[in-house]
Chains A and B, each alone.
Chain A
Amino acid sequence: MTWAAILAGALGCYLLKLAGLSVPPRVLDHPVVSRVADLIPVALLAALVAVQVVATDSGGLALDARAIGLGAAVLLLVVRAPFLVVVFGAALVAALARLL
């Protein structure tokens, strides 16, 4: 099932890219479409951050070492650290928080 989902997702993502290069611009270049498409990544990424950091496997909400890791990520982003430093810095801080 995981493989089918991966392949379907990959095919869909490719077709979305190809559609952009193939469709006449006027068909989709409507202001509302542009606005929604611009906002969708923002909404999805924000939701992913929240769910990833606060939701638990059992369907509850919890603030734990992940939240401390995210706090570290915020600090690193504020000081404009590179992507890799942000990601692994957050991991390191969360791992240290679990040790304490």
Chain B
Amino acid sequence: MDDESPGAPVEDRRAILRDSLGVGIATGTYGVSFGAVAVASGLDVLQTCALSLLMFTGASQFAMVGVIASGGSPWAGTSTALLLGTRNTLYGLRLAPLLGFRGWRRAAAAQVLIDESTAMSVTRRTRAGARTGFLATGVSIFVLWNLATLIGAVAGEAIGDPRDYGLDAAVGAAFLALLWPRLDRPLHQVVAVLAAAVALGVVPFTAAGVPVLVAAGVALLVGVLPIGTPPDIAPDDPPGHQHQAGSS
């Protein structure tokens, strides 16, 4: 992957840079909604900003505050966030040979390994192109996402009872918008409906936050079943790309 073909032109990298910054700006700004939703869930501004700085993976962050908002223990939120964060491991597995980062560069790059940075780099043919897409997307989202989180959190705290503004409904909408681009396959639709049903089925009997973890069992069960479909991850099908389509 690291052989630069002679035809890998400079303007190619400029185009990658431009596209990556476009995705970065579009995605980073919705940190406003995370900031607003997080303080509506009962976190303070500092905790909200810490999540964006340190956790920095949108779905996990929304999950964490969503579980807390529904009255769940913060640790149930942590578990859900970690389960959602496992997909970044898979992205990393696919990107590692392409990016070829070592040492401190790898440690730094890991923090911006998310849906969008994966999507903008996994399809590149050269290492330089992949690194450009990965870093431009990842770093621009990191900067803007954190700025936007702060703005959303401060604004959210200033406005009073979040329910008056429907911000509790905004959390569900955010999850749905993250889920939406993944519902492109029948298997995913079945899993989504089953998981929602299972979660609601156990709500009356379990502590808040637990139903979501129980629903992850649906993914385990269906994933282990030998259904006659090819593996869901194909080289020309970057998973982050679908998410990006829904969030930008």
Contacts and interface: CB of A to CB of B under 8 A. Distances in A.
A27 to B, nearest CB: 9
B247 A83 contact: yes
Interface stretch (B1-9, B10-18, B119-127, B171-179): B171-179
A5 B179 CA distance: 25
Interface of B: 26-27, 29-30, 32-33, 37, 43, 47, 50-51, 54-57, 59-60, 62-64, 66-71, 73-75, 77-78, 80-97, 99, 101, 106-107, 109-111, 113, 163-180, 182-183, 187-188, 191-200, 203-204, 208, 211-212, 214-216, 218-220, 222-224, 231-233, 239, 246-248
30 contacts: A5-B73, A6-B47, A8-B78, A14-B110, A18-B92, A20-B96, A21-B109, A22-B96, A23-B89, A35-B223, A38-B90, A42-B183, A45-B179, A47-B211, A48-B63, A48-B175, A51-B200, A51-B203, A59-B204, A60-B204, A66-B168, A66-B169, A69-B166, A73-B176, A77-B180, A83-B27, A86-B173, A86-B177, A87-B33, A91-B173
B172 A66 contact: yes
Contacts of B199: 46-47, 50-51
Contact of A36 (B60, B74, B99, B219): B219
Contacts of A35: 222-224, 231-232
Given A8-B78, A69-B170, A93-B169, A49 B50 contact: no
Contacts of B101: 21
Interface string A37-65: 11111111111111111110101110001
Contacts of A49: 172, 175-176, 179, 196
A84 B32 contact: yes
Interface residues of A, number: 78
Interface of A: 1-14, 16-23, 25, 28-29, 31-32, 34-55, 57, 59-61, 65-66, 68-70, 72-74, 77, 82-84, 86-98
